[in-house]
Structure 1
């Protein structure tokens, strides 16, 4: 799932080198020397083998024109209207560039862009040299739509002044809050306003430096080419060459860190993902989206301000020796600041594999299984297969005499198609699992044909908006066969496409994977379809029982990307419903009716809806800003409380894990304890357990 902004960078701040958006660190000069060859080979491949090739005409040329400028200057704070007028001579010629003409457009734009960025640096410096007053009714729009390019430099200064004033206000208010706790220093309001401007100046200075790095020849070309590719679909991408030797050396090294996937956007570094079992995750105080503000090394009293620092610099500060601590100041989603002290560890990979537990419900034992992705062994005898691991955990749970199993694939980003097919085969004896289809030809139907199933009891699958790709195939198959009940947010992510990587090659139309000197292109070739014939693309899987979606306000799903491939249908593959079909239907009717009327879930939905629909306009009058911030903080605090179940779930380890932990290191026991505690408080897991209890009642004929 790739972000639509190419200024976003993502890295692990843990024990392994980044596995996403790896920075190109060598061989780029070959690309710069062969821009036309790389460009024409790449666009040629897109037209030949992409699932949905674009018509190369003036209309598409106009789309490329708009998209590239949007990627460079979405907030319209760099280019002037006169620049765009100048660029328009290329607006209807970009399809000709794709068909073989010399590539010129991005070079012209990049030259002007570098000039404008340098001019903006001076504008920022001048504006931040003067104090701001926060007593007037002025507003900042954090998501402006349909704004026009500035006619002249005066208009541009006004736009930057509005933006900078809000940034200073955020910092100023933070400093005012900190002053209440500071018994040593006695800063005046004016001094704090000056400090706030100094902080914003550092942020913007580093941000401009990072933007200028992206105007280097190879990076500018990369951005332009990906702007075009993104119009085909969000999951096709071009990657600059990587120095394989340095990459392999990095992979073999050992790093100790906080256990998080970081992302950089607009000069700020935030948490993209937490590694399950990692130090940040175990703290229970760090969340996806938290922005890193300051870092203080253990044993030091000095805090390093991260404002505007590059990703690589932030990662260096979060890493350190095993067992050392680092205190990170995070800006939470509600705008508040929170210091979290974390002890650095090596990432424990076993925490990312299939794992199980038992909910010792008063009426029956219920098994619980979770895993973050559909990993595979890639033919390595020493590797791990998630389907094989799932089978082992199911055997453990059966030995514990569980009467039902909940499989939690929330935030599961997908993975191996082969693994998901094998995993479905643990619950379905025989029949189709998924259909895979290219843009032409008949679909290929993947099936299972087993002598029996490993588990045939009640099954509930828990999903959310971030359950994607292979996770959606699993949920869809269980749902279509009526083998189990899917419960979760209104829909899963909606990624139903298949990509493959090709070397760009050194000769035109060469698409073999052997030559990587000029980079690699990942192209969407096929789409997944359910056995009913419906695509999982765009719409995802709609659960049988719907819960509030905590990610809905942030518009992170496939449907929120305007270039996503469309949803469609093909012919269904013949299949027979499971023998659980009647029980499943009765349970859905009974449990669904209860959940629709549940007052606590209704209240949660209401607060999420408020968050989703809050205004993009923010007052820059201090008292009004504080009132808005307070309302936001109170709403998010309420949502967090609402996500904690009223009654703690009786979750315990399986007997074999309890025995193993007696002989494990303390940190493994601590990690396990943190995991169990998170499950005990999980509202949505609690709802899944209630659905399972309803299933038990329908089997016995009780209402």
Structure 2
């Protein structure tokens, strides 16, 4: 069947052309499925044998995607679908959608059935005095065997949501000046729960066949590995925006508000911000392109569809019909332009502690961004280099590079960035499928910064963050400080344009792109970060200290492997006495009251996560909530108190840019205040102080 499809594609006869005004979406699905499966077989790092194991894994994963909460499908539905449990490999090879078509039919009918059950159940008068409970662990639940079990599941779920809101309102009522009766509060809780469920079913009703098809397709790619995904054209556009930090449009963030599209943020420096007419909380009701007669009513339209009509090329004009907060309707003309998104970019401050005499540079890097669409686009490596130069001009005694919660990004940029701290040499080994590994090197003999360096990480520092941390650790160039280990993603992905894989069929394009894992990367010492991550030199406990997180939590994650190391020379500027630095920090943490609380809180969070049974008796539920709140009370100030003597300040060179806009000032103030409450940063400064004492000659080149 695949050979037949390939021949048809090559001949260009799959296009509907003049036979129908619109192409058949199912034929487009066939093209996308063919192209994705072809790429999976040809370029994925770990090609899989199409057998019963593959089929069973794909079936299990898709069933979880289809109805993970077990709120819609009956066991009889699952039984019908389960007939295909060992046939998906055959359907994959044949390009058949028989199972997918049945699953779409089943879930759509199941949602309609559940909506009727909900409509009946929400009208019930719930009794909160009887003793019963609900299990919120979806994995432990079974699919309802019949309608009675389905109705019972919905009754308990609705009752739980009302109970949660009722308890919240009772608590808020105790603090309110004007008290309400319990009956009034209960009615409000019913009303709020109903609005939540109604909105949820509205959103379920907006799910299109294409959404389910993409979910099905990604179920298959995820059996290969968790980081291989299909991206429709809109998703790929969003990915490029996220990576590059730039877009062509009006510079406003939107979200759904009932049937309307609401403006929730205006991006500083963008066209909407410059025009001053579009404001936060405005409701956009219609869109018109200059030069076109059609005024498009977007009421009830999905936000991702609205965005596609509002974005556009630089220099083009769009007209928005907007309902203002006072109820007036206005038409706003906006000329689209390049919008630079500041959030997510590298930025730095000076950190000092009273009576210490040291001045430290701090660089925050949320991701390894790179704009591949523009020659003059932003690059994280270039931006970090600029921040280093600014900090050197301030004559700092050490630099902290904060990669916490940095999920990675550009491989090119992490290699260049690592090279800022060493003369030259290998940074990472990259192994393609079926070939020998090759080495990506820093070929620039210049060292941008040779001083005291600490890299901060946590369990959500992934991919490129792990490459940099591993390289700095292997070169003994920096001290790595953070939680038990980093995320553990040791694979490299690449995008493939499906349009280039399918000749002709222009009426069905664009088809989107597929992001596939094509390589694994390895440290210069031959080890891998896959699954294991990077274990810091100094470990600081956090909220997830007793909870397993990261790559190892994924189904079908690639295995850990290692290869031969490559030759590399340690730089002149190395961190010595790592063991002493770690020991000193451990002693401080052991006696530090805040870190004691961190460990207690981590244990509490683990226990809360493991406890999935909740009482639906109000008195018992209230006791459980009170017990949890009392337990949490002990930790409420853990992250909210400013650390005495810890001061963060903007670099003088940055002040003009920051002070040019009030919203920028506000965001900066929040960031500075948060830094001054950061107990991990405070302990990292203790470690840096010890490092300077233990390595007094480090950074001598910078001090000349």
Q: Same fold (TM over 0.5)?
A: yes
Secondary structure class of the residue paired with 1:532: coil
The equivalent residue for 1:200 is 193
The equivalent residue for 2:219 is 227
Aligned-residue offset at 1:256: 4.2
Spell out the pairing of 1:444-455 with structure 2 (5 A cutoff). 444-455=438-449
Secondary structure class of the residue paired with 1:539: coil
Q: Quote the Cα distance in structure 1 between the aligned partners of 2:412 and 2:598.
A: 38
Spell out the pairing of 1:138-287 with structure 2 (5 A cutoff). 138-180=132-174, 186-189=180-183, 191-214=184-207, 216-242=208-234, 251-256=247-252
Spell out the pairing of 1:312-331 with structure 2 (5 A cutoff). 312=303
Are the counterparts in 2 of residues 171 and 196 from structure 1 also a CA contact under 8 Å? yes
1:85-119 deviation digits (Å, cap 9, x = unpaired)? 22232222111111115320011121122111111
The equivalent residue for 1:405 is 399
Secondary structure class of the residue paired with 2:226: coil
RMSD across aligned positions (CA): 4.0
Change (3 A) 1:648 1:349: farther
Change (3 A) 1:67 1:619: same
Q: Which has the larger radius of gyration?
A: 2
Q: Quote the Cα distance in structure 2 between the aligned partners of 1:163 and 1:380.
A: 50
The equivalent residue for 2:541 is 548
Q: TM-score, normalised by structure 2?
A: 0.78
The equivalent residue for 2:114 is 120
Q: Quote the Cα distance in structure 2 between the aligned partners of 1:247 and 1:475.
A: 25
Gaps in structure 2 of 5+ consecutive residues = 1-20, 259-263, 270-279, 283-299, 311-319, 327-337, 698-704
Match of 1:675 among 671, 678, 703: 671
Are the counterparts in 1 of residues 414 and 468 from structure 2 also a CA contact under 8 Å? yes
Aligned-residue offset at 1:137: 2.8
Aligned-residue offset at 1:666: 4.0
Gaps in structure 1 of 5+ consecutive residues = 1-26, 268-272, 279-295, 299-308, 327-345
Aligned-residue offset at 1:420: 1.2
The equivalent residue for 1:694 is 690
Spell out the pairing of 1:40-79 with structure 2 (5 A cutoff). 40-79=34-73
Spell out the pairing of 1:338-349 with structure 2 (5 A cutoff). 349=341
Match of 2:481 among 484, 487, 493: 487
The equivalent residue for 1:304 is none
Q: Quote the Cα distance in structure 2 between the aligned partners of 1:543 and 1:613.
A: 26
Secondary structure class of the residue paired with 2:460: coil
Are the counterparts in 2 of residues 51 and 526 from structure 1 also a CA contact under 8 Å? yes
The equivalent residue for 1:341 is none
Q: Quote the Cα distance in structure 2 between the aligned partners of 1:116 and 1:631.
A: 38
Are the counterparts in 2 of residues 358 and 653 from structure 1 also a CA contact under 8 Å? yes
Change (3 A) 1:207 1:225: same
Change (3 A) 1:36 1:255: closer
Secondary structure class of the residue paired with 1:132: coil
Are the counterparts in 2 of residues 276 and 352 from structure 1 also a CA contact under 8 Å? no
Secondary structure class of the residue paired with 1:230: helix
The equivalent residue for 1:685 is 681
Change (3 A) 1:422 1:245: closer
**629-638 vs 512-521, which deviates more?**
512-521
The equivalent residue for 1:437 is 431
Are the counterparts in 2 of residues 490 and 542 from structure 1 also a CA contact under 8 Å? yes
Change (3 A) 1:393 1:187: same
Q: Quote the Cα distance in structure 2 between the aligned partners of 1:522 and 1:247.
A: 11
Aligned-residue offset at 1:407: 0.9
**242-251 vs 492-501, which deviates more?**
242-251
Spell out the pairing of 1:460-609 with structure 2 (5 A cutoff). 460-505=454-499, 517-550=510-543, 557-579=550-572, 580-609=574-603
Change (3 A) 1:401 1:616: same
Q: Quote the Cα distance in structure 1 between the aligned partners of 2:371 and 2:660.
A: 25
Aligned-residue offset at 1:72: 0.9
Q: Quote the Cα distance in structure 1 between the aligned partners of 2:634 and 2:267.
A: 25
Are the counterparts in 2 of residues 168 and 197 from structure 1 also a CA contact under 8 Å? yes
Equivalenced residue count is 613
1:118-169 deviation digits (Å, cap 9, x = unpaired)? 1111111111111112223322222233432222111111122221211111
Match of 1:457 among 448, 451, 460: 451
The equivalent residue for 2:332 is none
Q: Quote the Cα distance in structure 2 between the aligned partners of 1:248 and 1:533.
A: 32
